[in-house]
Amino acid sequence: MASKPSVPCGPAPPEAVYTDLSTLFTAIQAHARDNGYAFRVRSSKPHRVLYDCDRAGSYDSKGKKATVHPSKQRNSGSKKCGCEMRVVASKDAISGSWTLQVLNATHNHSASTAPVAHSAHRIAALDESIRDRIISVWKSGASNTQILSDLNTSFPNVHLTLSDIKNITQSIRLQQLGGKTPIQWLL
């Protein structure tokens, strides 16, 4: 079976000035989606936000013991490949506008074949009716697997994974707890 030829990632987003941070992030994420990659927030301060390619960094084995034979270890992996693509958004203290600057425009991986390969694009593509459906099914006591099954039946064009559902329900739960532990919330 022949494999598809790899296509290089598109260019970095153009350097520009934006009125607010959410507009900036929406613009660079849309540019990244059209060019086969996605951004994530690497670090955030009130006047500076660093974004990097979602494939930046390296795989963390998290508890895999070197003494255990590889054939006995779980076969887990990561899409992280040490990509150095990085941009920074800086807030102007006087005007309050945000300036985008490209720190490193090169990728060390090929472009994704579809935007659904990146969780940032899958979650961003959800409209309010789908998010409301997830919340209502979750509140009825359904498991994440049952929620995913319901979505696949009701919205066949939505490409969410079980991890996406888990992340959405966990964020809802954290909002409900309001910064308290579950025990504090109950009391």
pLDDT in tens, 22-64: 888 888 888 888 888 888 888 889 999 999 887 776 666 666 6
pLDDT in tens, 134-167: 888 888 888 888 888 888 888 877 778 888 888 8
Beta bridge mates, 173:
none
What tokens appear for 60 in the block?
Answer: 């963390």
Place of tokens 């009130």: 46
Q: In what order do the strands lie in the sheet with 48-53?
A: 17-18, 98-104, 86-91, 48-53, 39-45
pLDDT in tens, 165-176: 888 888 888 888
Q: Which residues of 11-34 are buried (b: 16+ CB within 10 A; e: fewer)?
A: ebbeeeebeeeeebbeebbebbbe
Q: How confident is the model at residue 179 (pLDDT cuts 50, 70, 90)?
A: confident
- pTM of the model as a whole: 0.65
